[in-house]
Structure 1
Amino acid sequence: MKHTLEVDGVMLSFGQNRVLQNIYLKCESGSVTGLLGRNGCGKSSLMRIMFGEPLTEDRSVRIDNQSLLGSFRDSKDMRYLPQQHFIPKHLSLTSVLDDFGLEKDRLLENFPEFDAFPKLKVNQLSGGWQRILELYIILMSESKFVLLDEPFSHIMPLHVETIKRLIVEEKQNKGILISDHLYEHIMEVSDQVYMINNGRSFLIESAQDLHDNGYIRLR
């Protein structure tokens, strides 16, 4: 069954600074939706609002035309990868996978390096490996939609390619919203891409559009 996640009516200000206004974004299962924009344009805030954080009362978030009210999000509907680490440090790799209903063998198929530290706790992993583990459990867990905020940060290029492949494969099971400043990766894996500029969201088609809106320079 195909599902649709939509957000609109978002108005967000910090003091006298209006960050978001006239925002509309749509993400569908079976596809990857990219989100780009300059630092401070409100990409992370928009994801947090979609996930239920009460940053503003001016918003409408809907799945299949059913409004999501309050701050509670059922994990069967939506999961969110924030920029900061979130897995409790005392947990082991095995317990983390068990908590999210994921098989270790599948993890090792894609990241065999984890086999070298099966009994280590999360706080014994490097920051990069913690990020890979967090991204993996959010992306691969059962849910209608996942929101990924800067999933490629602090990850070596070899593993970025694996993550991009997993994103493309996993979109068959859910809708994926992804934001990162490594825009080439976003453009490559996304079926549609929104940009936020001057508080507004709009679809872009090419790197030329990013150049025209002052996000990149084309040589």
Structure 2
Amino acid sequence: MPTAASPLGRPVGAKGEETRQRIMAAAMRCVAEVGYSRATIREIARGAGMTSGSLYHYFPNKAELVKATFLDLAEFAVPRLAAAADRAEGVLNKLMAVFDEGDQLMRDYPFAVAFDRAIRVESPEHLHLAEDSDTIFNALRAVIVDIIEQAADEGVLGTETDSENASNAIYVVMRGLYEHAATAPLDDYHATVGALKMLIRGTLFDYKRLA
């Protein structure tokens, strides 16, 4: 029986999806390394180990490929952070879980941050990817707000700490990690995440010596 095909002529099923993911991974890396305008279908296809003609069976043009790559990234990134928080017990452990999952995302997708920054700088306006990226960060902030509000409800937030300010502080830290990930070597980024976890847990300094 012949393999079913989509309107673009690309095969459907597990193998077709595997190829599609490989193309998007190549697109993410290419755009991250050279920017949106300089990334070409030829180079992306080469990175995916296929011809340009074969790639066009999956995506009609570069714009649609990059948009699909970004939306695929968006659809799992924040949900993974939210799910990690949901699996943890206790406010502090939930925050640690978010940091750990963010760290794992960087391990799984080391070009994601540079890709996001590249499309923010120069992706075509009609794709609305910059606005979509803002939506992702808003969703991330919502995850943090939920954790901090739980802390307030449980009475474990400092009595002089405003929940909104606390949420803003954690969110700024997460955004700072994002910027750090765009330029720092991967090992340095992972070490920074570890130090921030110690800071939030209150174990970064020897407070007995500081007193």
TM-score normalised over the length of structure 2? 0.26
Higher RCO (CA-CA < 8 Å; seq separation 6+)? 1
| CA radius of gyration, larger in | 2
More strand by share: 1
TM-score normalised over the length of structure 1? 0.25
